[in-house]
Amino acid sequence: MTAARALDGRRAVVTGGSRGLGRAIAEALAGAGAAITVVDLEPALAGLPAGWEGFAADLGAPDALERLRPLADRLGAVDVVVANAGVVPPWRGMAELDGAEWARVMAVNSWGVAATVGAFAGALAASGRGSAILMASLNGRRAHPKQVLYTASKHAVVGITRAAALDLGPQGTRVNALAPGPIATEALMGRLLTRHGQGMPAPDAALAEMAGATALKRIATAADVAAAALWLASDATANLTGMILPIDAGMP
C-alpha cells in the first residue's frame, strides 16, 4: 500500500470537520482512503463533499456524550477519531472575564473533546488499531496576554490526551494531540482584523511578526496540520501515544 492510500478501508470521524483545520484534516484522511463522518453543528453540514456523512451535534452541550454514542454504535469499528471542534473566544484581560463565555468555551474545548473520545472508546477498541487525535494548541504549553480562557481550555486538552492515553492504551488505542501554532485561517485573520481596529498592527504585519519568532521564519499552515494528523492516524505511528505534537515551525 502506498503512503497516499495508507487509510484504505478505514473509517474516520472528525468533529468540527466542515471548515478550517477540521476540514483540511478530513480532506487529508479522505485522500488517504478513509471514509469520513463529520460531526458539527447542523448548519455547517450543508456543504460537505459527496460521499461524506454528516452528523449534527453540539459538543458543548451537557448531553454531548449521549448524543454521540448512537453514532459510535452504528458505525461499529472506527479507526480514527479527530476531536477537533473548538471555540476561540475574544481576547480578554483578567479583569474582563465573562462567566457565561467561560462556561461555553470550556464546555466545547474540554468537555466536548473528552465526550468525543469517551463516546468512541469502544468503537476505537473494536478497530484494533484505533487512533484518537485531539486538537490542542501552542497555548497548551505556553500562554499569551489576554488569552487566559483559551489557554486554560487547551491546557485541559493536553491533560485529557495524557489521561486518555493511559485509559485506552490497554485496549490498543493510541491517543495523541496536535499543538498548532498560529495558522492563517479565516478565523484568525478575522480576529487580527478586529484587533487592528483596536489599534494593534495590521493582519499582514501581525503574521510577519509571528513568522519572525519561529525557527523556520514562517508560520505553519493548515496543510502542515493535516499532514501531521494523517501521520498520527496511520500505522507509521503505531507505537506512539500520549504525545503532544507541536506544529509551529519552531515557535519558542
Which pLDDT value is given to residue 194?
Answer: 79
| % of the chain exceeding 70 in pLDDT | 98
CA distance 75 to 49: 19
Sign of CA dihedral 89, 91, 93, 95: negative
pLDDT at 1 > cutoff 50: no
CA distance 76 to 252: 42
All structural domains of the chain with their residue ranges:
3-182+221-244, 184-219
Longest Cα–Cα distance in the chain: 56
CB 97 within 8 A of CB 148: yes
Catalytic residue list contains 8: no
pLDDT at 146 > cutoff 80: yes
Which pLDDT value is given to residue 183?
Answer: 87
Structural domain 3-182+221-244, CATH architecture: 3-Layer(aba) Sandwich (3.40)
Does residue 144 or residue 64 have the better pLDDT? Answer: 64
CB 110 within 8 A of CB 43: no
Question: Which residue out of 91, 111, 150, 231 is catalytically annotated?
Answer: 150
pLDDT at 219 > cutoff 70: yes
Q: 38 forms bridges with which residues in the sheet? A: 14, 54
- Extract the C-alpha cell encoding 56: 449534527
**Residues 206-230, mean pLDDT to the nearest whole number:** 94
